[in-house]
Structure 1
Amino acid sequence: MAKKPLLEFTDRGIYCARGKFYIDPWKPVDDAVITHAHADHAYWGHKNYLAHHLSKEILLYRLGEINLQTVEYGETVMKNGVAISLYPAGHVIGSAQIRVEYQGEVWVVSGDYKVEDDGISTPFEPVKCHHFISECTFGMPVYTWKPQVQIFEDVNNWWRTNLHNGVATVLVGYSLGKSQRILQNLDLFNGKVYTHGVIENTNEALRRNGVLLNPTERITANSVKEEVRKGIILAPPSSVSTPWMRKFQPYSFGYCSGWMAIRGAKRRRAADRGFVLSDHADWNGLISAIDATDCESVYLTHGYTATFSRYLNEIGFDAHEVHTLYGGEEENPSNLPEGETPNVPENNNANQVLSFGEDLSEAGGVS
């Protein structure tokens, strides 16, 4: 009889039967180990949660009062004889790869990750293992990122140009990860950073967790529009084309996403500028990260799984597609050209606590 694998893919999530816990489960379970606080990985309803300590306040903000244990990177927790340890994923603040070991067999669940050091998240750290469970959100050769210093040079020049032309600057990125990365790389000599309520709530949670962020000012009903228009406005995707955003007209609207690499994506977003900035690994980053694990087999959970698994098998990896409910916080365009839509399950918005990290009830205001 074949040996049962240490981790299995079930209808509730990635399951360790020996340890009696799940990793990023999407249905309620007793013990959940969480890679990071994005809503497609951290669902409400589990009895017990385990995550990295920098995810603590974000998880409490998004999920409410939960039974949460947090650990440092490299710290080991034992569950029914199985060793669990967390290692940096470089995706967003507090994101982790989950290393699971029992009797010499090692699996690593990456969650989401990027290999470029963004200056705010703990940089990605390859972990040796026998089996690696990987995302491949951008697992196509067309997705190759420029160094972020070049992207932010463009962002800061665009902001300066808008100031010169008397046009407000609105920059959109998702509230956990992208917004903080933007904030830490803006040229603050240009002016103040004003934030939508969703983003500021996230910033406040991170600050409670001891994360040092550049200064921001929440936009409220008492904010003076002309003062706000002199700075830069950070907004979530949920604010696009809403009355909240239109209050700042005339403005130039920029969108930060890996999907901006696709021709026409900026137009479909109705953005004036598209900045190719992703918190996921690009094609080369995925390959280098997988190769660095020295794994015997790799399992691809979400993204261009068919294309990427076929390529990995062609170059000598033992690669497999698996179906999960991950994928979503990178603001996947809903109307890409045929053949360009990532393999993301249609019902991946099952988490009704916060849909992909955006609290739509928090609109903010301005006078």
Structure 2
Amino acid sequence: MARKPLLEFTDKGIYCDQGRFYVDPWKPVDDAIITHAHADHAYWGHKHYLAHHLSREVLLYRLGDIQLQTVAYGETVMKNGVSISLYPAGHVIGSAQIRVEYQGEVWVVSGDYKTEDDGISTSFEPVKCHHFISECTFGMPVYQWKPQAQIFDDVNNWWRNNVNNGVATVIVGYSLGKSQRILQNLDLSIGKVYTHGVIENTNEALRRNGVTLNPTERITIDTSKDEIRKGIVLAPPSSVGTPWMRKFQPYSFGYCSGWMAIRGAKRRRAADRGFVLSDHADWDGLISAIDATGCEKVYLTHGYTASFTRYLNEIGFDAYEVHTLYGDDEALEDTTTQPAPKGEEFNTPFNNNDQDKKGSPFGGYLEGVDS
């Protein structure tokens, strides 16, 4: 009789029966291991959470008073004989791959990841395993990222030209991950960085966690529009088209996302500039990351799951498509139904609320959210 797999895909999430825990569950459970603090992976309502220590303050900010244990990369936690350890995913600050081992069987749940070193998130580290659970958000050959230095040269030149022309500069990226990556790569000789309230709250949480970020100034009702025009505004996706953003007119609005590669003005929400900048692996990054694990089987949870599964099988991998509730970080930051973090329950003129049956071989049957 075949041994039951160490991890299973269930209606609550990825489950380890031997260890009695879930990884990134989307329904309330007793014991949850969290890969990172984005809303499609870190849900409210679990009794106990385990995550990397750099996710601590953001999780508490987003989810409130939770029972949270944090560990360092490479540190081992035992649950009913199952060994659990976290390794860098390179997606955002504090993001982790979850390595699970029992009686010589090793699984790795990647969460979301990127293989380029962004200079602020701990760089992705391949982990050897028998079974690898991977995203494939950008699992199509058209998605090939340019080095981020080239992208930020474009961003800084655009900002500099706006300042010279007396036009305010607003750049959009989700509040955890993309905003900090943008912040750390701006040329601060051009001017100050101003932040929407939800981004500044996230920055403050990260700073409480010991993360060093470039200086920012929260936008309030008293912030001078003339001063803002000399700097740059970091804003979340939910601010696009709102009265909050229109108060900066005249402004030039830029959007940072991997979707800028092909989806044009519609995906850019009519932005003046679209910058192809993603916190997910591109086509080559996905293939190299999966190959580096040496895995016997790979399971694809969200993104271009069907086509990428077919491709991996064609080139010699044993790949399976599974449907989960993981999805587009940006979309879920705008639509999550979790309680608003403290201080974001009400809007002000400068503080818009922003929150942050197809089967696997093992019984996964969820209709997913493919990005």
Q: Which SS does the other structure have where 1:207 is aligned?
A: helix
Q: Quick one: distance in 2 between partners of 1:268 and 1:98?
A: 33
5+ long unaligned stretches in structure 1: 333-347
In structure 1, the partner of 2:289 is 289
Q: Which SS does the other structure have where 1:179 is aligned?
A: helix
Q: Which SS does the other structure have where 1:87 is aligned?
A: strand
Q: Which SS does the other structure have where 2:329 is aligned?
A: coil
Q: Which SS does the other structure have where 2:87 is aligned?
A: strand
1:137-286 residue pairs with structure 2 within 5 A?
A: 137-265=137-265, 269-286=269-286
Count, aligned residues: 349
Q: Quick one: distance in 1 between partners of 2:256 and 2:183?
A: 12
Report deviation, 1:222. 1.3
Q: Quick one: distance in 1 between partners of 2:63 and 2:80?
A: 27
Could you tell me which amino acid in structure 1 is paired with residue 303 of structure 2? G
Does the CA contact (< 8 Å) of 1:196 and 1:364 recur in 2? Answer: no
- Root mean square deviation, CA, Å: 1.8
1:13-52 residue pairs with structure 2 within 5 A?
A: 13-52=13-52
Q: Which SS does the other structure have where 2:204 is aligned?
A: helix
Change (3 A) 1:363 1:201: farther
In structure 2, the partner of 1:365 is 350
Q: Which SS does the other structure have where 1:204 is aligned?
A: helix
Q: Residues 149-194 of structure 1: CA distance to partner in whole angstroms, max 9, x if unpaired? A: 0000000000011011111100000000000000000000000000
Q: Quick one: distance in 2 between partners of 1:244 and 1:159?
A: 20
In structure 1, the partner of 2:56 is 56
Q: Quick one: distance in 1 between partners of 2:272 and 2:345?
A: 23
Q: Which SS does the other structure have where 1:298 is aligned?
A: strand
Q: Quick one: distance in 2 between partners of 1:148 and 1:267?
A: 21
Q: Which SS does the other structure have where 1:200 is aligned?
A: helix
Q: Quick one: distance in 2 between partners of 1:361 and 1:108?
A: 40
Report deviation, 1:3. 1.1
Q: Which SS does the other structure have where 1:150 is aligned?
A: helix
Change (3 A) 1:30 1:59: same
Q: Quick one: distance in 1 between partners of 2:274 and 2:266?
A: 5
Change (3 A) 1:268 1:183: closer
Change (3 A) 1:129 1:362: farther
Change (3 A) 1:94 1:155: same
Report deviation, 1:90. 0.1
Does the CA contact (< 8 Å) of 2:131 and 2:297 recur in 1? Answer: yes
Change (3 A) 1:26 1:349: farther
Does the CA contact (< 8 Å) of 2:221 and 2:348 recur in 1? Answer: no
Q: Quick one: distance in 1 between partners of 2:183 and 2:8?
A: 39
In structure 2, the partner of 1:352 is 338
Report deviation, 1:294. 0.1
Q: Quick one: distance in 1 between partners of 2:347 and 2:94?
A: 23
Does the CA contact (< 8 Å) of 2:37 and 2:95 recur in 1? Answer: yes
Q: Quick one: distance in 2 between partners of 1:321 and 1:239?
A: 34
In structure 2, the partner of 1:298 is 298
In structure 2, the partner of 1:345 is none
Does the CA contact (< 8 Å) of 1:39 and 1:351 recur in 2? Answer: no
Q: Quick one: distance in 1 between partners of 2:51 and 2:57?
A: 11
In structure 2, the partner of 1:340 is none
Q: Quick one: distance in 2 between partners of 1:267 and 1:16?
A: 38
Could you tell me which amino acid in structure 1 is paired with residue 86 of structure 2? L
Q: Quick one: distance in 1 between partners of 2:267 and 2:331?
A: 15
Change (3 A) 1:181 1:250: same
In structure 2, the partner of 1:122 is 122
Report deviation, 1:353. 2.8
Could you tell me which amino acid in structure 2 is paired with residue 154 of structure 1? D
Q: Residues 39-60 of structure 1: CA distance to partner in whole angstroms, max 9, x if unpaired? A: 0000000000000000000000
Does the CA contact (< 8 Å) of 1:19 and 1:79 recur in 2? Answer: yes
Q: Quick one: distance in 1 between partners of 2:93 and 2:309?
A: 28
- TM-score, structure 2 normalization: 0.91
Q: Quick one: distance in 2 between partners of 1:58 and 1:166?
A: 35
5+ long unaligned stretches in structure 2: 352-371
Could you tell me which amino acid in structure 2 is paired with residue 353 of structure 1? P
Q: Residues 240-284 of structure 1: CA distance to partner in whole angstroms, max 9, x if unpaired? A: 000000000000000000000014246751100000000000000
Q: Quick one: distance in 2 between partners of 1:93 and 1:284?
A: 22
- TM-score, structure 1 normalization: 0.92
Q: Quick one: distance in 1 between partners of 2:111 and 2:243?
A: 35
